[in-house]
């Protein structure tokens, strides 16, 4: 599956995507059984962005960003470009001109398992970007990869059309066919947390709110008065 560009992909429902974006990475990751989270080296270029969109995938090679240029053409409004690399590379595969191009075509943001550059300019544009590094190292356009094929990006399998959720906590992927289920589970989780939050703000203990005491006791946790020294 090298040297292939798939023009059209299936996408999840826009309302579901929006809901997943509002829930955010931590809730979505929990809501789908603690799966789909990219490795924590994926960091936002600037703080405060929270996006969700359909994955358009690009598989590049180290030091080469050719397939990003190819991917732009098949990106639609609301999509997130997900760039995987065939081996570890921090080279600056994405800069201000590509950000300009993606913004012009309505992309929500980009997730790169490579480096980005023009950090200052992309931050000023407020274009949402997550990457493994910031590096000015230039890339070539020499080797074919593919667009809209399944890739592994930062430890997670991403199929074209999967939902990408990204915020200050990192990046999570929701399978397209699971998107609605996960969205509902996330909403439920959020409601429960809202109740816990109020109780915690009053100084109640998680030990009591979550009913942990008996399980701790069963495991044999021992309390001593101390101090021991």
Q: What angle do CA 77, 160, 11 make, to 5 degrees?
A: 50
Sign of the dihedral through C-alpha 203, 209, 212, 214? positive
Q: What is the footprint of a second copy within residues 123-142 (CB under 8 A)? A: 123, 133-138, 140-142
CB of 181 to a second copy, least distance (A): 12
Which residue(s) pair with 58 in the sheet? 83, 147
Looking up tokens 């809501």 gives 31
| Residue 52 sits in the site that holds a second copy (CB under 8 A) | no
Distance from C-alpha of 189 to C-alpha of 203, rounded to nearest angstrom: 21
| Residue 53 sits in the site that holds a second copy (CB under 8 A) | no
Region of 12-20, 33-41, 179-187 interacting with a second copy (CB under 8 A)? 33-41
CB of 190 to a second copy, least distance (A): 12
Q: What is the footprint of a second copy within residues 139-198 (CB under 8 A)? A: 140-144, 148, 150, 152, 155-157, 159-161, 167-170, 172, 193, 196-197
C-alpha 165: how far from chain center: 5
Total site size for a second copy, rule CB under 8 A: 105
Please identify, using beta-carbon distances, which residue of 4 and 15 lies nearer to a second copy.
Answer: 4
Q: What is the footprint of a second copy within residues 209-228 (CB under 8 A)? A: 210, 212, 215-216, 219-228
Distance from C-alpha of 127 to C-alpha of 46, rounded to nearest angstrom: 9
């Amino acid at each position: 599956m090298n040297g292939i560009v798939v023009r059209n992909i299936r996408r999840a429902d826009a309302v579901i995507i929006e809901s997943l974006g509002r829930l955010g990475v931590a809730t979505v990751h929990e809501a789908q059984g603690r799966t789909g989270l990219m490795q924590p080296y994926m960091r936002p270029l600037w703080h405060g962005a929270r996006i969700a969109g359909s994955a358009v995938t690009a598989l590049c090679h180290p030091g080469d960003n050719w397939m990003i240029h190819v991917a732009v053409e098949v990106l639609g409004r609301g999509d997130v470009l997900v760039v995987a690399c065939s081996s570890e590379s921090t080279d600056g595969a994405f800069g201000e001109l590509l950000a300009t191009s993606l913004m012009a075509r309505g992309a929500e943001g980009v997730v790169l398992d490579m480096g980005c550059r023009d950090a200052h300019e992309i931050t000023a544009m407020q274009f949402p970007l997550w990457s493994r590094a910031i590096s000015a190292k230039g890339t070539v356009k020499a080797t074919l990869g593919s667009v809209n094929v399944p890739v592994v990006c930062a430890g997670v399998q991403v199929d074209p059309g999967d939902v990408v959720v990204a915020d200050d906590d990192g990046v999570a992927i929701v399978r397209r066919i699971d998107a609605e289920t996960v969205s509902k589970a996330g909403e439920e989780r959020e409601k429960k947390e809202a109740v816990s939050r109020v109780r915690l703000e009053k100084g109640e203990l998680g030990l009591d709110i979550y009913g942990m005491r008996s399980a701790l006791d069963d495991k044999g946790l021992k309390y001593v008065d101390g101090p021991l020294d």
